Amino acid sequence: MTCFMSSAIKRALHTTTRALNYESDFLLKTSINEIRNIGIIAHIDAGKTTTTERLLYYSGLTNRIGNVDNGDTITDYLTQEKDRGITIQSAAVTLPWKGKKINVIDTPGHADFTFEVIRSLRVLDGAVTILDAVAGVEAQTEKVWKQAKDLNIPTMVYINKMDRDGAGYGRTVKEIVGRLGTRAILVNFPYFVKGKDQKDVFKGVVDVVNNKLIEWNTSSDVDGREVSVSDISKESAVYTDFINAKQAMVDYLGEYNDQIVEHFFESDDYTTVDKNLLNATIRDLTIKNLITPVLCGSSFKNIGVQPLLDAIVDYLPSPTDVTPPQVIGVKNNSVPTKIDSKVGCIVNNNKNLTAALAFKVINHPNRGLMTFVRVYSGKLQPNSTIVNSRTGEKVKIGKLLVMNGENPLDVKFLTAGNIGVITGTDEIATGDTLIGHAVTKSVNGINKNETSLKLLPIDIPPPVFSVSIEPTTVSDKRKLDSALGVLLKEDPSLKLTFDDESGQSILSGMGELHLEITKDRLVDDMKVNADIGDVNVTYKETITKDVDFVEIYEDGDNENEHQYGISLSIHQFETPFHEFIQCLHETKTFNSEDVYMLDINTAIVFDKAAVPRDIEKELAKPIWTLNISYEKIINAILSGATGSLQMGGRLARLPLQNLVIYVNQWCVPDLKDMQNVSGLIKITRETINKGLNSLDDNDFTLLEPIMNVKTYVLESDVGTVSQDLMSARNANILSIEDESDAGVSAREWADNMERTFVPYDPTMQYLQKNNGVNKLVISSEAPLREMIGYLNKLRSLTKGRGIYDMQFKGMERTTGDRVKQILEG
């Protein structure tokens, strides 16, 4: 038996000099091919933050292991995260391993913070999905897995908590195949020894690729730093499982790589197939999303983390291994992008163009607003000028940083493929595209049309819960407004509206916990004195009758001249919005670049003939020569429309949704003399208000949020739970089926699940049954109003055994008594 300690682990013992050399020795010398941008995603309590703390420690970046229960972790640094032991914001850290640089984002697992996961996935190249070995694949796991796969993000799985009673590696692997719909490749599997009480004790892993048995010394004084590696003898208790796992690996990988088959036939021995060839094939198929490497460990017990780090750099892609991001131009036209193996993504065939996406804004207690960015092309430099393509404005940025949890480290630049932080500006919001010059610190050498380029924006889910909020006294108003402004910049899934009649501000969010955390931050962290109401469901209004034509034109100095003017129509719709947009794109009157989304279910559509002739001529030029950018002009119309719809409902002054505003024509004064767009905002708002005022009260109705609900219960509880859903929850039950058939997986994955080899697992009996009783899933649609507090009721009905997952389906119209019921509270 041979003992070893990796150089990275040794460095953990000498971290006093590590931080000093962090920038010069590591960050600036890493090529783009040596970068891994990964996310850690999972169900709540699967061990994401605990695992991240070990990644930091064993990479040599920290000299201690943070503990979630003690509230001293690096990545969970908000007060609420430390108090509750959960991740709320996605935290970014950068760490070294085997000459590579890993940018890690630890994301929340709670459904209320889904937006944090969405905006993190947007900038990742790969992901590690962490599963609880006792719970297996859970509802939120399936949801996040689907989000990652929808973005074609290569993913590997780490089965955590193998030390727990009831941990089932084989059962969990079967669930990965059957419920997530993927081919699992066992990179390692658990190794147990008998304890004093003859119970199995998790001690290490069997490395299937390298034919090794790896054991950890779990004494508290070594923190998992002592690891022993040995060959697997034929007399070993795990030898048979190892050979079967190796055969399964070689056979499946050989279907894609003939060299593996040739290596096997040379010796007729699965264990002699070249490990480098196996690793290269696993990497290739992982990046192509054809397989999912599976590893295991116990992060809390410090077992299995180093092999996980190895797998991250060995199997997950670099920025040059993935498809380049889609970039759109000034009129939503597609802009060419390509991947260069040395410099990364090149946008618009311009190697000097820097393009970065702001995916998160936070308010740091010492450094103020910090903007997290992913650099896609070029090089971002500190103290330089960039352009925010959403606003068209030049922005002066301060320092550039990388984050070690809450501890920022200065860097001299951020090159393509890197994730870092911009400081010194409050003019950037989540989802903004930042354009700059890769060589100089100004944008003077960039074509003005290129400063309008946009990386695809982040989709923001609609908020479905809200609270009223008012300053306790008049003197508290300024501090409250300032604090809310900071929170809205940090979290775009929060929405704030103001009711002139009541004088109340309405803050909307993704869930009850989401708003509770926001309230705690306002009161406890920001020390704001405010009266905050109870959490309520967020409703909207819509119209049931179209406004076919409305216009307002301001007269100019000459008889045939207008200052500002716009003509438009306002249309309702009831079909799913994506179907409506698809039909719109199929017409000859509109193109995709003519459609601008105001929110998830409301759009402004510009007729092809709507753009004034002077602006059309300007757009045809290679360089925009006017004082005000085209984006700012269009944004003025969008802003005017948003202002009209914000409290445009007739029944309860609620925001109007499920509308399409068709702009038939618009005009502005002489463009060369135009200095601002306030007149265009004003005329748009007045015209839409005029159209809405032409409708009767009966032409308005309420929209309420409807949720897709999956309730997981034992067969014996189906009747009781179904009855409660239909009667008390006003739910429409869609189906009742076996849990194994109800997730992402289709039925054809059941055969793959049966054929997948897994080592012996005493918990396998729970794969299909739970104590001899089938577990079923009830799929239904229900109004959110009736689902508030459902978890406590479900636990009562099922003696604590039932769980459920709920996702937003859409806003649906209500009629008659239901409208009255909602309005009366």
- Rounded CA-CA distance 444/392 in Å is 14
Residue matched to tokens 């920022």: 408
Residue type, 497: T
* 106 annotated as ligand-binding: yes
Judge whether 161 is annotated as a binding position: yes
Closest by alpha carbon to 12, among 226, 295, 312, 313? 226
Distance CA 758, CA 186 (A): 8
320 is in an annotated binding site: no
Hey, how many other C-beta atoms are within 10 angstroms of the C-beta on 106?
Answer: 28
Q: What count of residues does the chain have?
A: 825
Q: Report residue 191: phi and psi, to 5°.
A: -120, 125
| 324 carries a ligand binding annotation | no
* Rg of the Cα atoms in the chain: 29
Q: What is the DSSP string of 439-466?
A: SSSSSTTS-TTGGG-EEPPPPPPPP-EE
Q: Which of 177, 133, 115, 126 is nearest to 149 (CA)?
A: 126
Contact between 758 and 170 under an 8 Å Cβ cutoff? The reply is yes
Q: How many CB atoms are located within 10 Å of the residue 765 CB?
A: 13
Rounded Cα gap, residues 427 and 489, in angstroms: 10
DSSP 523: I
- Asked whether residue 162 is marked as a ligand-binding residue, the answer is yes
DSSP strand pairing (602-606 vs 530-532): unpaired
Q: Is 42 annotated as a binding residue?
A: yes
According to the annotation, is 241 in a ligand binding site? no
* N-to-C CA span, the chain: 71
Cβ contact 433:389 at 8 Å: yes
Cβ 6 vs Cβ 229: under 8 Å:
no
Contacts of 234 (CB under 8 A, 6+ apart): none
The neighbour count for residue 363, using CB atoms within 10 Å, is 18
Q: How far is CA 220 from CA 9, 164, 217, 727, in A?
A: 16, 17, 9, 54
Cβ burial of 164 (10 Å; 0-12, 13-18, 19+) is middle
Task: Find out whether 697 is annotated in a ligand binding site.
Answer: no
Angle 188-191-192 from CA coordinates, rounded to 5°: 160
Is 269 annotated in some ligand binding site?
Answer: no
Question: Alpha-carbon distance 786 to 806, whole Å?
Answer: 12
Report whether 17 belongs to an annotated binding site: no
The residue among 236, 246, 235, 244 whose CA lies nearest residue 271 is: 246
Q: Counting runs of H as helices and runs of E as strands, what totals does the chain give?
A: 22, 43
* SS3 of 84-136: HCCCCCCEEEEEEECCEEEEEEECCCCHHHHHHHHHHHCCCCEEEEEEECCCE
518 annotated as belonging to a binding site for a ligand: no
- Are 307 and 297 spatial neighbours (Cβ–Cβ below 8 Å)? yes
Measured CA distances, 97 to 306, 372, 486, 600, 635 (Å) = 10, 22, 36, 41, 45
Angle separating helix axes 748-755 and 169-180, nearest 10 degrees? 160
Q: Which residues lie below 8 Å from residue 341, measured CB to CB, with a gap of 6+?
A: 33, 320
Are 128 and 156 spatial neighbours (Cβ–Cβ below 8 Å)?
A: yes
Dist. CA 260–CA 269, nearest whole Å: 12
- What are the tokens at 209? 């690729």
Residue 200 marked ligand-binding: no
108 in a labelled binding site: yes
Task: Give the span between the Cα atoms of 546 and 569, in whole angstroms.
Answer: 8
Annotated binding site for GTP: which residue ranges? 42-49, 106-110, 160-163
Annotated binding site: which residue ranges? 42-49, 106-110, 160-163
